[in-house]
Amino acid sequence: MTGDIKDGIQQMIDFSAISWNHAIPAEITAYNKDKNCIKARPLIQKKKPDGTFTSHSELSNIPVIFPSFKGGGLFFPVKKGDHCLLVFCHSSIEEWKVLGDEVQPKDKRRFDINDAIAIVGLTHLTKSKGNGEDIELIYGTSKISIKQDGTININTLGEIDILGSSINLGADISGEAGTGAKIIVDKSGKIDIKNATDGLGKILNDLSVAIAGITITIGGVPHPIDQIPVFQAITLRIKELLKT
C-alpha cells in the first residue's frame, strides 16, 4: 500500500473520529418541566479543519436524566445557567423521544450532536456544598443531613409541613420498640402524646372528670361545685382533640 493511500485512509479515519461525539460539559439555557427536556450550549469549543476554534450552536429537545422510575423519582428545579454533562447516543433517538419504547432509527447517524441526553449536576472544580461525610439534600437555605450514626438533621428557615392519613413521631429507648415517647396524629385528626404506660389525652381527661366530680359539703350534705357544666364542656373538648 502506497504512502498516499495510507495517508488518505488515516485522514478518513481521523475525520470520522472527529465527527463522533461522546460526552461534553454544557450550560443549560432553558428547561421544559412538562417534557423534562432542556436546551443547552456545549462549553468546549470545537476545532475547525483550519485549526481555529468556534463555539457550538445551542442544542434543543435534550432529555434529562433524574434518578426516577415509573412510580416516582427525585426531581430537581433545573435553572438556566446550571451545568450538565451531555452524553451522545450511538444511534438516532428521535423516534424514541416521541414513543419511549423500542423503535427502529430512521437515520443512520452515529454519536450525532443531535442525539444528546443530559445528566444534570456536573460542576467544574469548585468548592462543594456538601461536607464530604454525610448524605445531604440541600436547596436554598434548607438542608437535610443523614449522618453515619443514623442521626437525621433538618434545618430550614421556612415551615415544615407533614401530611398523612396518620402521623407517628416516636423515640424508643433501650433499643426496644414501644418503650419510648410518641407524638401521634391519627386520621380523625386526634392528637396524643404518650409513653409506654400513659398518654397526655388520658391524663387530661381523667383530670377533667375528677374536677367535675368534686363536691362541697354544706350542713353535712355534699353539693357539686357550681362549675360542673364548664368542666363537662372542657372534657368534651379534650375528647374531640386528644386520643383518650
pLDDT, tens digit (0-9, with 9 covering 90-100), for 207-225: 877 777 777 777 777 777 6
| CA 151 distance to own-chain centroid | 19
Per-residue confidence band for 78, with pLDDT thresholds at 50, 70 and 90? very high
Rounded Cα distance between 164 and 162, Å, is 7
Rounded Cα distance between 206 and 223, Å, is 21
pLDDT, tens digit (0-9, with 9 covering 90-100), for 104-115: 998 888 899 999
Q: Which residue has the cell 450552536?
A: 57
Look at the domain 3-120 and name its fold: OB fold (Dihydrolipoamide Acetyltransferase, E2P) (2.40.50)
- Identity of the amino acid at 203: I
C-alpha cell at 204: 387530661
Which of the listed ranges 5-9, 108-112, 204-208, 224-228 does the model predict with the highest average pLDDT? Answer: 108-112
Rounded Cα distance between 104 and 200, Å, is 66
- The dihedral region occupied by 234, where left means phi > 0, alpha psi between -120 and 50, and beta the remainder, is alpha
Q: By mean pLDDT, which of 4-8, 12-16, 183-187, 196-200 is the weakest?
A: 12-16
CATH 2.40.50.230 residue ranges for the chain: 3-120
60 CB-near residues (< 8 Å, 6+ apart): 37, 39
Per-residue confidence band for 239, with pLDDT thresholds at 50, 70 and 90? confident
